[in-house]
Structures are given as C-alpha cells and as structure tokens.
Amino acid sequence: MKCIINRQEKFSAIRHYCLPELENKEVQPCFGINSDFPVWGNNYLLIVFLGGELGSYGMVQNFSKVKKTIQKEITNQLHNSYLNQIWPEFQQTPPTTENLARVIWQRLKSHLPLFKIQLFESSEIWAEYLGLNMEASVTIKSYFCAAHRLFIPELTQEENYAIYGKCARPSGHGHNYHLEVSAIGKIDPRTGQIVDLTALQQLIDTKVIEPFDHTFLNIDIPYFAKVIPTVENIAVYICQLLQQPISDLGVELEKVKLMETPKNSCEIYCRSSRSI
C-alpha cells in the first residue's frame, strides 16, 4: 500500500534579493518591495513529503532517520545563515522561497523518496515544489469579512430551510473568510522567482479583497444577485476574477482555496491540466 508521510523542520535565515549585474535602481522592477531591504530574515517552516510503500514494520520511512537526514543535509546548514552565501546555488540565482524549495529538493533527492517540498516563509506566503525541473508554485493567503444568505427566491422559506438550514435565515450571517491563491510557473534562472509577489498580492487585493470585504455578498456583489453565494460558488467566482489577470503576470492560476469556517472550505483547481 502506497502512503505519503511528511516531516516538519524549522530554521531561521537571512537573505538578500539582488543581481550582481544590476544597479540598485534596476533591481526594484525585478523584485518589487523585497529589494527595498538590503537584508532581511525569515523563520522558515520546511515540510518534506515522502512517498512509498507501507513496509512490514508499518512505516514508509523511519522518521528518526528522516529527521537526521533533513537536519544534516538542510536545516543544520541553513539555520542562522546568510542564504546568499551558504550554498553555491545562490551565487547566481537569489534564494527566493520557490528557488530555495527547489534547491532543497535537489539536495535531498538522493537521500529520501521525495513526493513534494513545501516551504513557508511566513504563515501567509509559501512555495511548493514537486521536482518538475524549474516549475514551482507560490501561495498567498489573504482575508476578508463578508455576510451572505443562502436561499432560492422561487422556493418558500420552509423549502429553503430544508436545503440550507439556518444559513437560509432572512437576515443572513457573516464569516471571516480565509483565501489562499496559488500561482504556478517556471522559476526564472536569474531572479529565482516565478512571479513578482508584490504584484500578485496587489492583484488579489484589487480584484477580491477590497471589493468583497465588509459586504453583504447577495446585495453588494452583482454576480451574487443571481448566483447563490455558497463557499463553492464564491471560490468559483474568485477563480474567474483572477485567472486572466494572473495569466497576464506570466504565470497560471493553479488553485483557489476558500475557508468560510475552520470546518468548511472549498478548493477549486483552476489549471486546465489539473483534474480531481
């Protein structure tokens, strides 16, 4: 039986986004606001996913050995380091989160049966790498507050209650929505990025967060005058709003995940090549 397991490790490091051949005024268009700070640090969370057959000892891999391997090959070297100088891979391509995830994969692949690497630079930005050459994804997490009511106008109140329960109450109700937007593309061999994260965040803010925040979706968002604002329909609409603008940034919209409560969420895979 095939299983996927994962091991989490943490490390702290500082880094600098720069290109030797560019003057300071030329760096900002490549890296956005990240180039405004000479050096800054992150407390990274690294999650290493491993795949394999479930063995006779009830394990895919011995977690004790996995821990020691990750620490020896990765975290013991990176912890409290200056990433630009610690490994030769970062001499020409800066240690962006997506590029760092890729290099970690390369350094672990001969030691462990890797499935994927996730690297969090914060709780709101992370990268994912699956060993597909220079392809990686980055995810940005954002938030908005909104109210909605789930009901079908053609049905009676009793019929709506039978379908939607208390969510059909006439006065509506609100949620603190957590939105995750994942973009996928090729890591640029010079900048180490798949996309300017500042531009991506501004796009999400402009297209979704600012228009949706503190609204009654059924009333304030014209799309939901005729479409029931379930978490599924909201996620689908966000995908529609972002797909082309993100494409214009040179990457693909991979996934939209919307959480309306800690217990309820919906994921929409927007990439044409991805199927459930």
Question: Which residues are catalytic, by number?
Answer: 167, 214, 260
Q: How far apart are CA 106 and CA 90, in angstroms?
A: 13
Q: Which two tokens stand for residue 62?
A: 């011995």
Token reading at 266: 């919906």
Residue 270 corresponds to which amino acid? C
DSSP state of 86: H
Residue tagged 């800066």 (tokens): 94
Length of the chain, in residues: 276
Euclidean distance between the first and final Cα of the chain, in Å? 21
| Cβ–Cβ under 8 Å, residues 268 and 233 | no
Q: SS3 for 245?
A: helix
